[in-house]
Every structure is written in C-alpha cells, then in structure tokens.
Structure 1
Amino acid sequence: MSDSSTPSDADDPTLDALADVATRAVRAGGDYLEDAFRDGHVAGEYGNDDVKTDADRAAEARVLDVVRGAFPDHAVHGEESGRNGDHRYEWVVDPLDGTNNFASGLPAFATAAAVLRDGDPVVAAIHEPLPDSTYVARRGAGATVNGAPLSADSDVPLEHGTVSFVLGLPAVRDPDLTATAERIESAVDDRVKRVVSTWAPTVDWGLLARGGLEGIVCFHPDVYEQHAGELLAAESGVVSHGNGSDGLYVGATDEETATALHDVAAAVLD
C-alpha cells in the first residue's frame, strides 16, 4: 500500500516523498556519527543527567540541511535547535539518540526523524549507523528495515522475554517521577527474564519492530524519539496501550503481553 497516487509538492507531499527525504536525512546524520564514533574523539558538555556533544549539533545540522533542501517551508523541531517555523508539516528530529553511549564508546545509538501532519506522525525514519539498519514507517502503509517488510513477531512468553524500559529526561529530572519509574521497572522485572535500559530508545524501537524484544515500557518519554518509535511500532504490528504524551506507553508483540505489561505498570500508578 502506498501514498504515491497524488503528485508530490512542497504544500502537500505524498508519504513516499516525505519518507524519501526522511530516509536521506537520517542517513546523513548517521553517516556523520559513524565516522565521528570511529574517530574516537568526543567533545561536549557533561552534566549530571545529560550529555551534549559537538556530534549532536553537527549531526542535526546535516539532518536539517536535507529536510530544508527539500521542504524549506516546513516547520522543524530539533532536539538541539528547538522549534522553528509554523506549518502543518513539522519534522521532529533526534540527531543522536544515545549520546551517553556514543560519548562512552558504546556502539548503540541512532539518528531519528518523524514527520507530523497537523500534529499526527505520518512518517518515521531511524538510522542505526553501526549495523547499517534503516527503519522507515509510513502511516497506514507498513514499516520496513533496509527495504524489507517488518513484522513484530515473537513467540517468547512474557516470563522468558526481554523488555525495554525507557525513562524520559522529564522524569529523570523529577525526583517523584524517578521514584515511580523505579517501582515500575522493578515490577516489570518481576514478570520478565530481563529488563534492558539502553539509553537509546530508537535502537530499542527497532528491535521491538523486528521481534527482537517482546515489549517496551516508556515512562514520560522524550518526544524526539517517541513520535518516530510509536509510528514504527504501530506499522510493524506492535500492540500498544497508552501513548507517550500521557506519560505511559506500553507496546508488545501481542495483545496478551501488552495487556500484562500495562497492568503491571498501571498498578504502580494507581
């Protein structure tokens, strides 16, 4: 299924046109990051709860160069540069998801972009440069990895499964939310084989979309990864409860697992 039946133009581009630009944009950012990571020199600012490197800013500049070259009137919301412009189409960009990993030499990071139309995500692209994996999702048209169709299938039962736990920066900076998150993570850990916190949510979203993880629990996640991740999950067949904007999102490869995980997390919040 494709959204290519109407001509593409800057005012009302097709999903295929948006996806093509999104793919080129995240690859531009990711290709730069791959070279910078292998070079091994990481300059930036290291805070108590976050890391900002020169690579974040350089990668975002490369992503936005591609976006603005194709759609100069579209609004952009970059993690580094903030919001710019006013348009029904808005590009939400995380140039380096997993900055702390990148800075520490851990090979788990990605570049992500989501395109919102009237506030709703319609296209997502995630490029994980080291394994050279590019995930693309179009609203209502499915998801792919390196051009191959994605399906979030897993026959691993929850008690034997691996689940990602994602804690957004707003929660990290709020002691009460942090304490609640710790209780949720502990409760989930009691039900599964392993809970992983990679600090690179879009890497986890890719694993979930291809069935490598059985589920994901997001607590007050950052919009820069969540828009792209939720769309990728939905278009790969992930069953979900809640959404990131409400503070709790739970996704899994089947309804039974999604419901069980959501019940565990919701019980902590009640």
Structure 2
Amino acid sequence: MDEPHERTRDVSREALADVATQAARAGGDYLADEFRTGHVDAEYGADDVKAVADREAESRVLDVVRGAFPDHALHGEESGRVGESRYEWVVDPLDGTNNFASGLPAFATAVAVLDDGDPVVSAIYEPLPDTLYVAHDGVGATVNGQQLETGSDVALDNGTVSFVVGLPAIRDEELAKRAEAIESALGDHCKRVVETWSPCVDWGLVARGALEGIVCFYPDVYEQHAGELLAREAGVVSTSREGVYVGASDEKTHDDLLDAVGGVDGV
C-alpha cells in the first residue's frame, strides 16, 4: 500500500543540494559544448531571444531532478509548472540567452528548491569558467566548495552596481519609464551601472564582493530565487519589496542604493 504522505516526506538539505548541483552542471555542461560550436539556433524577438539551447538545457536539468525526486513539482522557464508538492524546483536553464546567442561568454544555469514556497537550496553554474555557487538556507554559501562571504573595500561612488530589469518591466510602458529613472538615479550614486543580461552571473559577483551592489526591478522568478538565496547566505545586506530588490555588501552601500531607488517617483 502506498504511503499517503509520500510526496511530502522530508528531504535533507544536503540531498537537495547534491541534486541541484548535478542538475545545474548537466544544463551548464551542455550549454558550454553548444556555445563552443559557434552556431546558435534561435528566434529573435523585440525584447527576448528564444534558443533551442534553452529547451535542451532545461530538459537535461529536469531529467536529473525527476530521476532523484519524481514526485516533486517542477517550474521551468521553458516548460512552465508541472505537479504539486511541498518541494518545487525552479529552473532557469540558460540565464543570459542574449549573451549566449551573441557569442558573449557570460551565462549560467540556475536551480532553486522551494520548500512550501521558501527557497532553501540553490545552485548556480557558470560553465565556461567552471564556477559553481551553492547556497543552503541558514547554513551559508560556497563557490567551488569554498565558503563564501561577501565584502568590498570599494566605496559606492567608485563602485559598480548591477541593474536587473525583468521582462514584466521591459514589456510595460510605465514600468519601463521607472526603470530608466532608477538607472539614472543609480548612476548618480556610483561609478558605473551595468546590465549584463545574465543576472545570475551578477549575483555571483555580488556574493563574492566583486560588485558593490545589485538592484532588481520586477525581476523574473527563475533566477531571482536562486540569486537571492545565494546573496543572503553570503551575507549580502538586502531589502526586498514588491517589484524591487536592493542588495549590497555592507549596510552603508545598501542604504545609499535604497535611497537612490526610493527617490524615484512610483517606486
């Protein structure tokens, strides 16, 4: 007789992290091989790129997850939501599709595990530099197995801040105007504002202290869950509210960025 609560049994964080790591590597390794061929099969839209590599990478990620936890729910950027469970796997198979399609070597595969809606494990894999970030809720974060702790000696006015604008904001005229205003306000507070089109690459840099901060405006959930957990477990100081996330390596930088964003009308 089947156990009535089989689908909601406890799974250790270590087991979840092991599978998340395997899944992220499966997607990322495929992407690296495809990138090196120099050929990209893609459809180009006004504000997005859809590559065959997105779907193929996601298929490889989900195969790993299904093989380990066939009863867990899945939420892939390409395939949508499938199943209902206490545990949900949120997957961005190719974070940085524009970069990938353009031949820019900055992209990643991101996997986050939610337990009753809260991110508890995430893995972000950048295949070209072979960089793996793993975060456990309440335990910490690592990069290539080494404990990770954010920190930057660069003052904000000499520093670099990542600005991430999600598709919901890009595709809404009013939100797009606010995004432009936020970018301008951030530019008044730091040396450089960057939009790399691969938020997870930026999340890793912020977690390592290589970027002084990150501001996300209506970000896409597929990379946000993984990135926020990584940042939090690395010690990034952050504020998250509807439509806006502000994170920085220290309190003062965080407060300055929050002030800049808060000064924009409607934010």
Please give the TM-score of this superposition, normalised by the length of structure 2.
0.96
> Which residue in 1 is equivalent to 2:132?
134
Distance in 2, Cα, partners of 1:20 & 1:141: 15
Alignment of 1:159-198 (within 5 A): 159-198=157-196
Residue 109 (structure 1) aligned to one of 86, 107, 110? 107
Deviation at 1:155, TM superposition (A): 1.3
Letter in 2 for 1:218: C
Deviation at 1:211, TM superposition (A): 0.6
- Answer yes or no: is 1:206 the counterpart of 2:209: no
Name the CA distance, whole Å, in 2 between partners of 1:153 and 1:254. Answer: 7
Give the Cα separation in 1 of the matches to 2:145 and 2:258: 32
Q: 1:41 aligns with which of 39, 42, 45?
A: 39
CA distance in 2, matches of 1:159, 1:210: 19
Distance in structure 1 (CA, Å) of the matches to 2:172 and 2:187: 22
1:267 matched to which residue of 2?
263
Q: What is the rounded CA distance, in whole Å, between the counterparts of 2:253 and 2:158 in structure 1?
A: 11
Deviation at 1:12, TM superposition (A): 1.1
Equivalent residues of 2:8, 2:87 under 8 A apart = no
1:229-268 pair list within 5 angstroms: 229-243=227-241, 246-268=242-264
Q: Does 1:32 align with 2:49?
A: no
Which residue of 152, 155, 165 corresponds with 2:153? 155
| Residue of structure 1 aligned with 2:82, choices 81, 84, 95 | 84
Q: CA deviation at 1:186?
A: 0.5
Equivalent pairs, count: 260
C-alpha contact 1:163 1:216 (8 A) present in aligned 2:
yes
Tell me the alpha carbon deviations over residues 27-55 of structure 1, each in whole angstroms, 9 at most, x when there is no partner.
00000000000011111211111001000
Distance across 2 between alignment mates of 1:203 and 1:11: 33
What is the Cα deviation at residue 10 of structure 1?
A: 7.6
Matched-pair contact (CA < 8 Å) for 1:51–1:100: yes
Match of 1:59 in 2: 57
The runs of 4+ residues in structure 1 deviating greater than 3 Å are: none
Q: Which amino acid aligns with 1:195?
A: V
Q: Secondary structure at the match of 2:85?
A: coil
Question: Is 1:10–1:71's contact at 8 Å kept on the other side of the alignment?
Answer: no
Q: Which of 119, 122, 125 is the aligned partner of 2:120?
A: 122
CA distance in 2, matches of 1:92, 1:24: 14
- Quick one: distance in 1 between partners of 2:102 and 2:86? 38
Contact 2:8 2:85 in 1 (8 A): no
Task: Give me the identity figure in percent.
Answer: 70
Deviation, 1:235, is 0.1
* Equivalent residue number for residue 98 of structure 1: 96
In the TM superposition, what is the alpha-carbon distance from 1:248 to its structure 2 partner? 0.4
Q: Which amino acid aligns with 2:13?
A: L
- Tell me if the contact between 1:111 and 1:127 (Cα under 8 Å) persists in the aligned partners: yes
What is the distance in 1 between the residues matched to 2:133 and 2:265?
33
Matching residue of 2:3 = none
Task: State the distance in 1 between where 2:153 and 2:175 align.
Answer: 33
**For residues 141 and 69 of structure 1, what CA distance do their matches in structure 2 show?**
26
Secondary structure of 2:18 counterpart: helix
**8 Å contact 2:95–2:110 — kept in the other structure?**
yes
* One-letter amino acid matched to 1:255: E
